[in-house]
Structure 1
Amino acid sequence: MNKTLEQILESSRTYTSEGRVADYIPELAKANREEIGIFVATAEGDYYAGDWDKPFTIQSIVKPIFLMLTAIDNGIDFVKAHVGVEATGKPFNAIDYAEPLLLKEHINPMVNIGAIAVCGLVKAASNEERFQRLLHFTKKITGNPQLEIDREVYESEKKTGNKNRALAYLLKNSGMIYGSVEELLDVYFAMCSVKVTCKDLANMGYLLANRGVDRSGERIIPREDTIFLNAVLTTSGMYDGSGEFATTVGIPAKSGVGGGIMADCPGRMGIGIYSPGLDKKGNSVAGVKMLERLSRELQLSIF
């Protein structure tokens, strides 16, 4: 498998030059778009190639983590009463919601406005407790107790995140955020700034692929929750490129503008990808190419 991954990575390396690193968050603009890595976690063992151990910030791959913990805390029916599951067809940071914002089913948890709402549904007595619970949960599902925040990225996101502030105040105006908007956004920005590697993402993917049971055999998430989560990732996880991704790769996945992709093939494996050059929709160009070839060679598509 390592040889296969090395071949896939090298054949996809040329695509790193086609993407652009995210620059709307100044610290992300410092990424080296030539870096590229892949990690696959299976019941039989780990397989990897390239810059799989290079740390980068999780960014939007934190959105399914918000959804997981909120579902554990409150149940799927509660989640669906507050946010919808239909793909929006909008960019991840779209702000043109206006009146449809009043209809909760129009807000998807895999785009920023829905993720901010879901983050606020994690049970906690304070936003500091909410952050600590989310960070602890992220450490648990990635199997990495050493995870920490990239302070420079966090400060950069906080300083430039005015569109997310606008989205959060729209939510507040519609009665979908309780308490301080700024404190909740601090949690959101901090969690987007958690540093991970391809291995961390692959372990997270393995948990979803294994129906909520981690690699030690402990059940972390109810089985029915993983079915719900994988369905949402399949329809909405790759921003407004999710439909095309479903036809070419065909597995649940979530991308982030830090260059990461977390994917899982139910019953088989978790996959972590890193390559910071992005397409216009915010997905890793080389990362998607690697997943396309891996899916073809190993017949991963669930369709």
Structure 2
Amino acid sequence: MLASDAIATAVANAWIQAKDTSGGANANYIPALATVDPTLFGISVVTTGGDTFTAGDATVEFAIESISKVVSMALAMDAIGAEEFHGKVGTDPTGLPFNSVMALALHGNKPMSALVNAGAMSATSLIPAESAEHRWVTILEGQSTFAGRQLTLSDMINDSEQATNAHNKGIAWLLQAAGYLHADPMGVCDVYTRQCSTLITTTDLAVIGATLANGGINPTTQHQAVTADNVPHILAEMTMEGLYESSGDWAYSVGLPGKSGVGGGLVAVVPGVLAIAAYSPPLDERGNSVRAQQAITQITRTLNLSLYRNGPRTVIPEPASVLTTIGD
């Protein structure tokens, strides 16, 4: 079977198997997310050659949420270097929820990972900028370079998040007091909230993942989104904390670096090969999309993509232009 046929079949079967899965609930602590249609479900695979395979609602826009942390981490790492970033933000899983204050208190208010809220705000503050607005524009440009198209802010989601982000404001002040925030705390929290409120599609998310799989070069535009030398560090962070308290279970059962967002998106990266993205709003108790986890797990196993398995992979990247769409 040709590689493109294998991917298309795996994507179609995963969508069929997972589309009627029940369980989970939309994030309700952000009012704008609570009202999103819970039946939405899309899958997209993008290879390092730029081939795209989709199923279901892959063109529906949704809030990027915590997946934005990958981009702000990449921008900060490129700006100050991986070694300095490692010292300022940390690279270890917390074992606690993504907005945990206890995780800070246990380590002298030092953030342990750029993929939880505290570390993400610290990373955002490390991106060089003359003002909060300049920092926001830099991040939006970075997100757009990763996605391969100009992304936009959802005013509705941003307003909803800004009205409910008191907890994150408290975290920002704790970081400032301990010397781990490197710009005005409320300005950083505002920008962080905005970076989580941009809109992406499932295919945009797969392109973001494929950019990491492709050594930092967007496979659809050929633009360099992040320095190649920093990609392994980013993927390591995604392995350790990309699905919050479920990260270890994900590595154990799926074997790929991943990142989720409470908007319902989830992406997994196969270095040098492709990325798999899925979107569905209902989340499990740890904030990860129920259907997206099921679909990506099935595709990974079908194509033998786990980094920890022996034997040949079914998929070999091909420099072709393929677009396969399944579902309605």
* TM-score, structure 1 normalization: 0.96
2:118 to 113, 117, 127: 113
Q: Does 1:70 align with 2:76?
A: yes
Match of residue 184 from structure 2:
180
2:236 to 219, 231, 238: 231
Structure 1 stretch 179-188 or stretch 202-211: which is displaced more? Answer: 179-188
Q: Does 1:53 align with 2:45?
A: no
Q: Does 1:269 align with 2:258?
A: no
Q: Which runs of structure 2 are paired with 1:84-95 in the superposition (5 Å)?
A: 84-95=90-101
Distance (whole Å) between structure 2 residues aligned to residue 97 and residue 286 of structure 1: 29
Give the counterpart letter for 1:48 in structure 2. T
Q: Does 1:13 align with 2:11?
A: no
Q: Which runs of structure 2 are paired with 1:69-218 in the superposition (5 Å)?
A: 69-97=75-103, 99-102=105-108, 104=110, 107-145=112-150, 147-215=151-219, 216-218=221-223
Give the counterpart letter for 1:133 in structure 2. T
Deviations 1:114-145 (A, max 9, x none): 11111100010111100000001111110012
Deviations 1:170-192 (A, max 9, x none): 11111222442221111011110
Give the counterpart letter for 2:91 in structure 1. V
Following superposition, the deviation at residue 69 of structure 1 comes to: 0.2
Distance (whole Å) between structure 1 residues aligned to residue 290 and residue 167 of structure 2: 25
Deviations 1:216-267 (A, max 9, x none): 3343322220011111101110111001111111111100000001221111
Pair 1:161–1:227, CA change in 2 (3 A): same
Distance (whole Å) between structure 2 residues aligned to residue 138 and residue 103 of structure 1: 28
| Conservation of the 8 A alpha-carbon contact between 1:35 and 1:274 | yes
Following superposition, the deviation at residue 98 of structure 1 comes to: 5.4
| Conservation of the 8 A alpha-carbon contact between 2:109 and 2:174 | no
RMSD of aligned C-alpha atoms? 1.3
Pair 1:98–1:109, CA change in 2 (3 A): closer
Deviations 1:79-100 (A, max 9, x none): 0110111111011111114543
In structure 2, list runs of 5 or more residues that go unmatched.
Answer: 1-6, 309-328
| Conservation of the 8 A alpha-carbon contact between 2:146 and 2:208 | yes
Match of residue 317 from structure 2:
none
Match of residue 249 from structure 1:
254
SS at match of 1:160: coil
In structure 1, list runs of 5 or more residues that go unmatched.
Answer: none
* TM-score, structure 2 normalization: 0.88
SS at match of 2:153: coil
Runs of at least 4 residues off by over 6 Å: none
| Conservation of the 8 A alpha-carbon contact between 1:101 and 1:174 | no
Distance (whole Å) between structure 1 residues aligned to residue 187 and residue 62 of structure 2: 24
Match of residue 23 from structure 1:
28
SS at match of 2:281: coil
Distance (whole Å) between structure 1 residues aligned to residue 112 and residue 186 of structure 2: 20
Deviations 1:41-68 (A, max 9, x none): 1116110000000100000000111100
Distance (whole Å) between structure 2 residues aligned to residue 8 and residue 14 of structure 1: 11
| Conservation of the 8 A alpha-carbon contact between 2:89 and 2:180 | no
Structure 1 stretch 75-84 or stretch 91-100: which is displaced more? Answer: 91-100
Identity of aligned residues (%): 33
Distance (whole Å) between structure 1 residues aligned to residue 215 and residue 176 of structure 2: 34
Distance (whole Å) between structure 2 residues aligned to residue 99 and residue 34 of structure 1: 39
Match of residue 288 from structure 1:
293
Distance (whole Å) between structure 2 residues aligned to residue 3 and residue 86 of structure 1: 37
Give the counterpart letter for 1:144 in structure 2. R
Match of residue 44 from structure 2:
39
